Structure 1
Amino acid sequence: MKSPPLSPYGVFTGQLFQYSTNPSLIAFESSPRPAQVGRKTAPQSTGNMCILLGGLSDGPIPTPYTKLLEEKCHSMGWSLVQPILSSSYLGFGHGSLSRDTDEIVRLMEYLVCHHSAERFALVGHSTGCQNSVHLLKYGRRDLINRVKAVALQAPVSDRESIALSPGNHAANILHAKSLLSKNEGDEMMPRSAFWAPITASRYLSLFDVDGDDDFFSSDLTGDELHARLGHVGDIGRETGLHLLVAYSKNDEYVPEYVNKDDLLRQLVSAMNGLDHGRDGNIDFDGHRGVARGIMLENSNHNLSTNDNDKEQFIEAFGELLILERLLDS
């Protein structure tokens, strides 16, 4: 019998647990391990927990850099936690960012109470970036104060990306708005509207102008971006949080008309509360800002096409953890 390929994104060892009374809400934690004593090893509780949040239709092991991320976390004394949310896999079609935030808060609370978590880092991929930004604004404040590092990898606009696929998107928006006006936002859109089952409310959230998920569109003004992202800088200046925005030059979900370099600068500037004409890595006082950006020159949306870009992103995230450790010492 021909052997199937080994898990392409890596093999992980750790603890699987429910973090809620809802039995479908589970998470997997892989922890640094101490030196082997005799024949026994045991997970080492460090108090440092990095939560990886994937994009639409993702679950655990959402990206090809997941194993590299785990290795980096472990080398610096951090556990990697990979949750399943109600919005994981095809659940996103009837979900919302608010529901995701509520469940991530439950996960963090569980980790504090039962896994001795003291600090958190977040790594968001694709829609996991919206989750991360939304959580920082609407999550429980005592838990958000524990978040010391955030990386947004591929923070792209779902509204702009839908235009790259065939279909009458304008008509779908009108249909979804019609359902919403009749208090039928939980009704499903036609099968032709999207590749996955999706409600009218979620469709508008993802694909309408000023939808709840509309954080990263290139046509948003500076004021509009700041209204959506400015809280990142406010929180960072208060708590010591630092954030990395990683954009891919060859992201297949970004239209060709988007100037990715300009958009990256605008996103970072909005988070830092800066004018667009200034360096998005520097704050008003001339010091390094809360947010900084990197452009991954050779890779695609999930960094599956270039190993060097995977490593560059993971190293940049590791620098955030080093910075957090220096600030905490």
Structure 2
Amino acid sequence: MSNFVIHGIYILILLFALTQTRFFSQTTDQLIRAHTPTHNFIMADSKPFPVTVHPYTSKVFRNAALYELGSSSARNTLLFVGGLGDGPHTVPYIRTVAAKIEAAEDLNYSVFEIRIRSSFSGFGWNSLANDVEDISAAVKYLRSIGKEKVVLMGHSTGSQDSIEYTNYEKYHNEPVDGFIIQGSVSDREGLPIDKGKENVDKLVAIATDMIKSGRGDDAVPKSQLPVELDPWPITAYRLHSLAGVGGDDDYFSSDLPDERVAEIWGRVKQPILVVPSEKDQFVPPTVDFEKLLAKWKSFGPAISDLSGLIPEANHTVDPPSSREWLADRVVRFLRGLSK
């Protein structure tokens, strides 16, 4: 085959790859989760950055890997978990956090990003319980390579993962030394902002009927969905978990009864930093997040005094000044764990 033909084929493949990448980027912004990141990338986000890949053994996840930002000789770890549709390297602000942590030499931390079964398009076929199992396997690996402190940080649904992870009695999972949650908003309250309450009610009704008929683990047929969703499958269980009252993902709704709030935050025994975004576009205007955070604090003695709303931040903390504020709070929180 001539070099001309080979070069022509290469160009066609490259164009196809670019087209698919653009399609993936567009569909990612249309995830079922109402507060799925709508990235407004700045130039700094598109620059190459190095990571160290750590393959590790997981009995439930084939070819598991962790991706380390920072010095591999660091004694301590910040383990970062993204939200629905996220995976390693899809939440740019964590690189700002990682840089700030590495610059604080007294901390001796590096950042690890994790790929789990629910990463990227896998969220619809999985659950918080699966996430806990995958995260626990990663923590076990980190301990095996000598990491002293492991702090779990979650963005968006990663926040639900972090709260679910505190249920050691249920899961017998590997313990961690602290938690950080950012973008901890309610799917149930956020979905109607994007999809409309009537449409969400229909979604929940479809999922409920399927669960009652024993088909909770089946994918909801796209033909039955009243709103246009991604071509990625989602089970009736996960749909109800996200959008239904009392679903397994329903940790942060503003209308949860006090006894449920007390149960959630009373279970958190390790220090936890709670840093919601001040201008999160997926928080209904009827919700006063300052008051909601104060309520959580009243039931959660483990919540750090450093907790607070990230100034000017949207859900994914896009403004550079907001990222710097978040990174500074994370460093101060981690420094406090060392005392």
Give the SS at the match of 1:16: strand
Quote the residue 1:317 is aligned against: 330
1:301 to 304, 311, 315: 315
- CA–CA distance in structure 2, aligned partners of residues 252 and 188 of structure 1: 28
In structure 2, how many angstroms separate the alpha carbons of the residues matched to 1:19 and 1:47? 21
Q: Is the 8 A contact 2:178 2:271 kept in 1?
A: yes
Deviation at 1:197, TM superposition (A): 2.2
Q: CA deviation at 1:189?
A: 1.6
Deviations 1:239-260 (A, max 9, x none): xx32111111210111111111
After TM superposition, the structure 1 = structure 2 runs for residues 54-73 of structure 1, keeping only pairs within 5 Å, are: 54-73=82-101
Which residue of 188, 199, 202 corresponds with 1:159?
188
Structure 2 residues without counterparts, runs of 5 or longer: 1-10, 12-17, 19-42
8 A Cα contact 1:123 1:151, kept in partner: yes
Provide the aligned C-alpha RMSD in A: 2.2
Instruction: Spell out the pairing of 1:93-132 with structure 2 (5 A cutoff).
Output: 93-113=124-144, 115-132=145-162
Does 1 or 2 have the higher relative contact order (CA < 8 Å, sep 6+)? 2
Q: Which amino acid aligns with 1:320?
A: F
For 1:199-218, what aligned pairs fall within 5 Å after superposition?
A: 199-218=235-254
- Measured in 1, the distance between the counterparts of 2:160 and 2:47 equals 23
How many residue pairs align between the two structures?
286
Query: What is the CA-CA distance between 1:174 and the residue it aligns to?
Result: 1.4
Provide, for residues 248-294 of structure 1, a one-character-per-residue CA deviation record: whole Å limited to 9, x for no partner. 1210111111111111111222222xxxxxxxxxxxxxxxx543421
Shift of 1:10: 5.8
Letter in 1 for 2:239: Y
Q: Is the 8 A contact 1:68 1:314 kept in 2?
A: yes
What aligned pairs does 1:172-211 form with structure 2 within 5 A after superposition? Answer: 172-191=203-222, 192=225, 193=227, 194-195=229-230, 196-211=232-247
Q: Distance in 1 between matches of 2:47 and 2:294?
A: 31
2 CA distance for matches of 1:19 and 1:102? 12
Residue type at the aligned position of 2:311? E
**1:229 to 2:269 alignment:** no
Query: After alignment, is 221-230 or 310-319 more displaced?
Result: 221-230
Q: Distance in 2 between matches of 1:101 and 1:79?
A: 21
User: Does the aligned pair in 2 maintain the 1:130–1:215 contact within 8 Å?
Assistant: yes
SS in 1 for 2:275: strand
- Structure 1, gaps ≥5 residues long: 33-42, 236-240, 273-288
Instruction: Quote how far apart the aligned CAs of 1:90 are.
Output: 0.9
Counterpart code for 1:176: A
With the length of structure 1 as denominator, give the TM-score of the two structures: 0.81
